[in-house]
Amino acid sequence: MKLLLTGLSHHTAPLEVRERMVFDADSVPQALGRLREMAPTVQEALLLSTCNRTEVLLRCDDPTPTLSQVRNFLIEKSGMERSRMEKALYTFRDLEAVRHFFRMAASLDSMIIGEPQILKQVKDAHGCALREGQLGTILDGLCRRAFQSAKRVRTDTAIGRNPVSISYTACELARQIFGSLAGRAVLVLGAGKMSELTLRHLVGAGADKIFVSTRRYERAMEVARRVEGEAISFERMKEFLPQVDIVISSTAAPNVLLQKEDVTALMRKRRNRPVFFIDIAVPRDIDPAVNQVDNAYLYDIDDLQRVVDDNLQERKREARRAEEIVEREVQAFQLWFRNLAAGPTIAAMRKSMHDVRLDEFERFRARMTSLTPEQLAVVEEFGRGLVNKILHRPMVELKKSMNGNAAPGQVDLLRRLFGLTQEAETASPPQAREPRLAGAQEAPVDEIGRGNHDT
């Protein structure tokens, strides 16, 4: 297969190494060019760089020298000592490389398993390499299959369903209570990073009326301006409670701000419409007994953390199922890869058989001196016809395998039977051998499919 994947990630490298290895989106094309310069034997290459990993996936003729060239490229980029980098870099070959790439795209190798950004990042890396003409049939096919498997993991497992951050969990809980948050009012008590982040999620989910109240009114004004809300004075805060559906509380108050009795009275004023308290303050701002009031829901920071932990556990369980899906897709890729060789095999087989025919014809020519040119032509015609007839069936089978519905190993077998091993090993569609001209390809084209039309 001659695939290599090398790079580093949060599994092997600490942040101070990773941060030196980040290629921002604009510098990737240049970096790919530099890579080709340093490693001329590379035939196809893709460079993926995120804050948690930098990896190069490539196809080459001779893996051993190529690998050290590519490592040199990465070490040059980092500007760190070789020994330190060598420790952080990992390498996967062939099927292992495919498996790693598929698992990574499906977010099984991520720091937070199941996070959705990685797929987009891989897609961007693919798009960039494609535009730069660095991808041929094989890596392009590999990427597309990786996307497909990642998508399948996402739809067939619950790996990305449950939120795993406190702020987003709080938002999801609000949606469990209220459904759509459109038209819901939120009161933020006390300002802080976490409460603002939670508020942002709520606004993203549709909440559109925001009140901010802090002990210092100026601070409330400041936050309110930022989140496009309305500042209210802390003393009058309780007057606004009946109109709000969600309360995010994170004040530094040493004692409880809202007692159970307050909320019982509040529920009467609200005619029992539900209210959701998110208390992320330590010490807590809201009496835990508030949760016992009908239609009032109270989550403190520990409650939210517990939900997050449960969800992480759930993701790990789902990850096991995802691994199975990925493994199936890796097998499918392997099959596809094997059948890729079918096109060149057809040509090689035809050539080899007709060479045999011509050799034999030359050998017998001396004995056929008595034949007229017309008769000689008939003999030649006979030979060609015979070879074509014999080749017919294997050709049909090979063409079938190009559409992907052949038994695994069929192409291998044919190659072995007709003694084509060497030629077919290096055979790959011509487009893959040379980088395409940038811009020469507007839309991804399936070379194999295109090759099929004139057969």
Partner 1 sequence: MEIILQRLALGGYALSTLLAFASLPARRKVVFALAPIVAGAGLMAHLGAFMSAFQHMETAPGSAIRNVLSALALMAVVIYLYGYLRYRLYVLGIFMLPLALLLFLFSGWLLPESVEVSPAYNQPLLWLHIAVSTLGVGALFLTFTFSVMYLVQEKALKQKRPVSFFLPLPSLSACDRILYVSLMIGFGLLTIGLALAAVWSANMRGTFDVWQSQREILALVSWVIFGAVLYARLVTGWRGRKMAFLTIAGFAAVMLRLIGGPFL
Q: Which residue has the tokens 């899906």?
A: 325
Cβ proximity to partner 1, 307 vs 342, nearer residue = 307
Q: How far is the CB of 386 from partner 1 (least distance, A)?
A: 51
Note the residues at the interface with partner 1 (CB under 8 A).
155-158, 161-162, 172-173, 175-179, 270-274, 291, 294-295, 297, 299, 303, 306-307, 310-311, 314
- Rounded (5°) CA angle 276-281-284: 80
Cβ proximity to partner 1, 71 vs 270, nearer residue = 270
Under 8 Å between Cβ of 46 and 139:
yes
Give 308's Cβ-side CA count (13 Å radius). 16
The sheet carrying 3-9 orders its strands as 42-49, 53-60, 3-9, 90-93
By DSSP bridging, strand 230-231 and strand 246-249 are: unpaired
Cβ proximity to partner 1, 181 vs 342, nearer residue = 181
Cβ proximity to partner 1, 62 vs 294, nearer residue = 294
Q: How far is the CB of 392 from partner 1 (least distance, A)?
A: 41
Which residues on neighbouring strands pair with residue 228, listed in sequence order? none
Closest CA to 1 of 445, 330, 451: 330
Q: Which residue has the tokens 């032509």?
A: 377
Q: How far is the CB of 258 from partner 1 (least distance, A)?
A: 17
Strand stretches in 219-326, DSSP E: 230-231, 246-249, 275-279, 296-300
Cβ proximity to partner 1, 115 vs 397, nearer residue = 115
Helix and strand numbers, DSSP H then E, in the chain:
19, 10
Give 436's DSSP letter: P
Residue 51 known to be catalytic: yes
Q: How far is the CB of 286 from partner 1 (least distance, A)?
A: 14
Catalytic residue among 51, 60, 143, 171: 51
For 236, the token pair is 């009058």
Q: How far is the CB of 303 from partner 1 (least distance, A)?
A: 5
For 347, the token pair is 């040509």
Q: Which positions are catalytic?
A: 51
